[in-house]
């Protein structure tokens, strides 16, 4: 595992900021002390590391221990956020949902009748929306939640909140980027390189 270059870091932070907004800084620090830092007064911070083309979110103390393992022998460590494509763009994986959801700036809550269409890979239509964050702009990253506040996935808004209110019930409100149904649909290829 290695540290990200400046261009990789910029690309990653731009993608994450699309979903988290200003709370991106909260991803880098941890307020609760871990077992390894219980004796010291400073909490362990989180860092981003890259292995092949995949970016991992990991505590710094574990990342420092991982340098003793050969790169060919290390498969994964921490939470995989996504991967860099061959063109240099960053694509978030569904495994990043647990990291993004608590810090998400904008959210869309889906009714019970809209959960299964979303989990099967469909976009969110207006008829399935229970509520959404106010003043959400167009083409903004959002986390899709169930009405019981369970994160189901994430996507990009197709319309702003004001425009979406005027849509017909079959109009697309949010384009799906990833959903938890991918764990089953793509189980053979999700973690392969």
Start-end of CATH 3.10.450.220 domains in the chain: 2-99
Start-end of CATH 2.30.130.10 domains in the chain: 106-184
Q: pLDDT per residue over 89-137, tens digit each?
A: 999 999 999 999 999 999 999 999 999 999 999 999 999 999 998 889 9
CA distances from 151 to 31, 38, 86, 97, 147 (A): 23, 31, 29, 7, 10
What percent of the chain has a predicted confidence (pLDDT) above 90?
59
CATH architecture of 2-99: Roll (3.10)
Angstrom distance (rounded) from CA 92 to CA 151: 15
- The pTM assigned to this predicted structure is 0.84
CATH architecture of 106-184: Roll (2.30)
Q: What is the DSSP string of 39-68?
A: SSSSPPPEEEEEETTEEEEEEHHHHHHHTT
Closest of 81, 101, 106, 100 to residue 91, by C-alpha: 81
């Amino acid at each position: 595992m290695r540290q990200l270059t400046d261009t990789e870091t910029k690309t990653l932070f731009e993608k994450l900021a699309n979903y988290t907004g200003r709370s991106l800084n909260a991803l880098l620090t941890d307020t609760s002390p871990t077992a390894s830092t219980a004796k010291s007064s400073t909490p362990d911070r989180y860092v981003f590391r890259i292995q092949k083309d995949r970016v991992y979110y990991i505590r710094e103390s574990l990342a420092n221990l991982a340098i003793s393992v050969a790169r060919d022998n290390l498969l994964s460590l921490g939470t995989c956020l996504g991967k860099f494509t061959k063109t240099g763009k960053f694509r978030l994986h569904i495994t990043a949902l647990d990291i993004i959801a608590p810090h998400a700036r904008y959210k869309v809550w889906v009714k019970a009748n809209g959960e299964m269409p979303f989990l099967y890979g469909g976009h969110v239509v207006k008829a399935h929306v229970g509520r959404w964050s106010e003043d959400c702009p167009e083409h903004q990253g959002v986390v899709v939640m169930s009405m019981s506040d369970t994160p189901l996935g994430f996507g990009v808004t197709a319309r702003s909140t004001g425009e979406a209110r005027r849509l017909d019930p079959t109009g697309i409100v949010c384009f799906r980027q990833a959903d938890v149904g991918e764990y089953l649909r793509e189980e053979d290829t999700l973690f392969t390189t």
